[in-house]
C-alpha cells in the first residue's frame, strides 16, 4: 500500500455530494476539424496529465479518519482513455446524445475518478469528451489542466514543482474574482460556526444572531445565506430525475460582446448575467408561466490566483455567490442595468470566502448533517452559472488544432441546471446542462442565450 494523502475538507465535501441525479463530475468537450488518433491522445495524456498531476493515477479510499488519495496499484491508462465511434450522422446532435448517455454513469470508485473518450468522425475530425470528479479539482483548475494538454508552443500553463504548494476555483465570473488570501480564513471561521450550529441553526433561523457574534465581520452575509428563501418550483426547477440533457450555442464573437458592453457602460460579465436572466424569463413565458421577480443562481467565486503555477495536487479553491437574477424585468436595457447594479453590489463581498469555508466545514460533518446542509443551501437557487475564460487564440492537441471547447459545471443537491459560458479563440459559447424531466430540450435555452447577447449588441448599433 502506498502513502495516503487525506482529502482536504472541501474536496471531501465534493466527493460526498454525489447523487444519482446530480453526479459531482465536471464534463468538458473539445473538437477538431482533423482526425486525432487514440495513440497520440494517450501519449499526451500520459506525459501531461498522469505524470504531472498525481491525482490522475490515484484512487480514493475511505479510512477511519475520512477519505484519502492513494496510488492505484493497478493503474492502467487504457482503462481511462476510451475510443468510440460516434453514431451516424456524426453531427452535433449525435455527440450531444453520446455525451448524455455517458454523463449518467457514475465513475468507478475502485479507480482514479476520471475518464476521457475519443470519438472518431465528428464531422471531418474528432471529439474528445472528458469526465473528472469534482473532488480532484474545481472547474477553473481543470480547465487549466485541459489547457496544459495542448502543445506547449501554444499555451503557457505552468505547473509548480511537487514540493511547491500554491494556495490552490471553479468556473468564475472573473471581474468579481480577485484573490482573497487571508479572507478564506474568515470563511473557515464562519463555516466552523455554521457546522457547530448544524441542524439546530437551520431549524431555528433566530440562531443567526448567535452565529453572527461568532462571525461578526460578516453577519449580513451569513444572514443572507441562511435566511434567503428557496426558489419556488417553475418549469426550470422541480423534482429531479436521473437523466441529464446538454446543449450548446453557436459562438458569438468576443469583439461583438465587448463592443456591446462598452456601449452600455457595463462589463461582459454584467451582460452574461443579464443574458441568463433574459433567457430564463423568455423560457418561462414560452412555458405559459409568469416569470418571478428573480431567480437565484449560484455563481462560483475563484479563490486561486490565476497568475501562479498550478499546484500538482490541484484541489478545490472556490466559494459560491448567491446572485439574484432580475427575471422580472421585461425591458432588456433595464435588465442589463439592474444586472450591473447587482454585480457591483457583490464585488467586494466576503460571500465567496465564507461559502468556501461552509463547503469545507460540510466535509467534516457526519453524512446525515452534510446531506441536510446541502439540501438547505441548494434549495435556494435554480441554477449554477459559470463564466470560464479560455485561451484567446487557437491551440493544438497532439499537433491538431482545437476548434471548440465546452465545460459543464455539475449541479449539487436539488439544483437542476448549470449554465457554463466559455470564451475561446475570440468566441463565446454557452453550454446548458439540464434535468431531462424539467427541460427536455436545452437547445432552446442555448439559442435564447445567444439571442440575448446579439440583442444587447443591437441596442448600441
HEC secondary structure over the chain? CCCEEECCHHHHHHHHCCECCECCEEEEEEEECCCCCHHHHHHHHHHHHHCCCHHHHEEEEEECCEEEEEECCCCCHHHCEEEEECCCCCCHHHHHHHHHHHHCCCCCCCCCCEEEEEEEEECCEEEEEEEEECCCECHHHHHHHHHHCCCCCCCCCCECCCCCCCCCCCCCCCCCCCCCCCHHHHHHHHHHHHHHHHHHHHHCHHHHHHHHHHCHHHHHHHHHHHHCCCCCCECCECCCCCCEEEEECCCEEHHHHHHHHHHHCCCHHHHHHHHHHHHHHHHHHHCCCCCCCCEEEEEEEECCCCCCCECCCCECCEEEEEEEECCCCCCHHHHHHHHHHHHHHHCCCCHHHHHHHHHHHHCCCCHHHHHHHHHHHHCCCCEEEEEEECCCCCCEECCEEEEEEEEECCCCCCCCEEEEEEEECCEEEEEEEEECCCCCCCHHHHHHHHHHHHHHHHHHC
The pLDDT of residue 342: 92
The pLDDT of residue 348: 67
Q: 128: alpha, beta or left, given left = phi > 0 and alpha = psi -120 to 50? A: beta
Q: How far is CA 185 from CA 192, 194, 299, in A?
A: 10, 14, 20
Q: How far is CA 368 from CA 203, 299, 365, 390, in A?
A: 15, 26, 8, 38
Distance CA 64, CA 79 (A): 29
Distance CA 152, CA 309 (A): 15
Distance CA 204, CA 210 (A): 11
322 phi/psi in degrees, rounded to 5: -90, 105
The pLDDT of residue 96: 96
CB 359 within 8 A of CB 319: yes
The rounded average pLDDT for each run of 10 residues, N- to C-terminus, in the chain (461 residues) is 84 88 92 96 96 96 93 97 93 96 95 98 95 92 86 59 42 36 43 42 46 50 71 93 93 96 95 97 98 92 76 86 94 97 80 66 64 72 89 91 92 90 94 96 98 96 78
The pLDDT of residue 339: 97
Name the residue among 269, 262, 255, 297 with its Cα closest to residue 176: 269
Please, what is the Cα angle at 116 between 115 and 117, to 5 degrees? 125
Please, what is the Cα angle at 171 between 234 and 331, to 5 degrees? 45
The pLDDT of residue 351: 64
Amino acid at each position: 500500500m502506498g502513502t495516503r494523502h487525506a482529502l482536504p475538507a472541501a474536496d471531501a465535501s465534493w466527493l460526498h455530494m454525489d447523487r444519482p441525479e446530480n453526479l459531482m463530475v465536471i464534463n468538458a468537450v473539445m473538437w477538431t476539424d482533423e482526425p486525432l488518433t487514440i495513440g497520440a491522445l494517450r501519449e499526451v495524456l500520459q506525459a501531461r496529465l498522469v505524470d504531472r498531476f498525481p491525482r490522475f493515477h490515484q484512487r480514493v479510499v475511505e479510512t477511519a479518519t475520512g477519505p484519502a488519495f492513494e496510488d492505484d496499484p493497478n493503474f492502467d491508462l487504457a482503462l481511462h482513455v476510451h475510443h468510440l465511434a460516434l453514431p451516424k450522422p456524426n453531427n452535433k446532435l449525435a455527440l450531444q446524445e453520446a455525451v448524455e448517455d455517458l454523463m449518467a454513469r457514475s465513475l468507478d470508485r475502485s479507480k482514479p475518478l476520471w475518464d476521457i473518450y475519443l470519438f472518431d468522425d465528428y464531422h471531418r475530425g474528432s471529439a474528445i469528451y472528458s469526465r473528472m470528479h469534482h473532488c480532484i479539482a474545481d472547474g477553473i483548475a481543470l480547465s487549466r489542466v485541459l489547457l496544459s494538454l495542448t502543445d506547449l508552443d501554444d499555451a503557457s500553463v505552468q505547473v509548480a514543482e511537487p514540493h511547491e504548494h500554491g494556495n490552490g476555483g471553479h468556473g468564475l465570473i472573473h471581474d468579481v474574482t480577485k484573490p482573497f488570501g487571508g479572507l478564506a480564513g474568515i470563511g473557515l471561521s464562519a463555516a466552523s460556526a455554521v457546522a457547530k450550529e448544524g441542524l439546530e441553526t437551520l431549524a431555528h433561523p433566530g440562531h443567526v444572531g448567535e452565529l453572527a457574534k461568532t462571525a461578526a465581520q460578516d453577519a449580513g452575509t451569513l444572514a443572507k445565506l441562511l435566511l434567503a428563501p428557496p426558489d419556488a418550483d417553475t418549469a426550470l426547477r422541480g423534482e429531479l430525475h436521473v437523466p441529464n440533457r446538454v446543449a450548446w450555442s453557436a459562438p458569438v464573437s468576443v469583439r461583438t460582446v465587448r463592443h456591446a458592453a462598452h456601449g452600455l457602460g457595463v462589463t461582459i460579465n454584467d451582460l452574461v448575467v443579464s443574458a441568463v436572466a433574459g433567457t430564463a424569463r423568455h423560457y418561462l413565458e414560452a412555458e405559459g408561466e409568469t416569470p418571478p421577480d428573480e431567480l437565484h443562481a449560484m455563481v462560483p467565486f475563484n479563490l486561486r490566483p490565476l497568475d501562479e503555477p498550478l499546484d500538482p495536487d490541484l484541489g478545490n479553491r472556490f466559494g459560491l455567490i448567491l446572485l439574484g437574477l432580475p427575471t422580472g424585468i421585461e425591458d432588456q436595457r433595464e435588465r442589463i442595468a439592474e444586472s450591473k447594479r447587482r454585480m457591483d453590489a457583490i464585488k467586494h463581498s466576503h460571500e465567496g470566502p465564507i461559502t468556501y469555508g461552509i463547503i469545507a466545514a460540510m466535509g467534516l460533518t457526519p453524512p446525515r448533517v452534510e446531506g441536510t446542509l446541502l439540501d438547505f443551501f441548494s434549495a435556494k437557487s435554480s441554477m449554477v452559472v459559470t463564466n470560464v475564460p479560455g485561451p484567446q487564440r487557437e491551440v493544438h492537441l497532439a499537433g491538431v488544432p482545437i476548434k471548440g471547447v465546452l465545460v459543464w459545471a455539475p449541479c449539487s443537491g436539488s439544483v437542476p441546471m448549470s449554465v457554463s459560458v466559455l470564451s475561446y479563440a475570440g468566441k463565446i459559447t454557452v453550454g446548458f446542462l439540464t434535468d431531462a424531466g424539467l427541460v427536455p430540450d436545452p437547445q432552446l435555452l442555448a439559442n435564447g442565450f445567444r439571442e440575448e447577447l446579439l440583442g444587447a449588441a443591437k441596442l448600441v448599433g
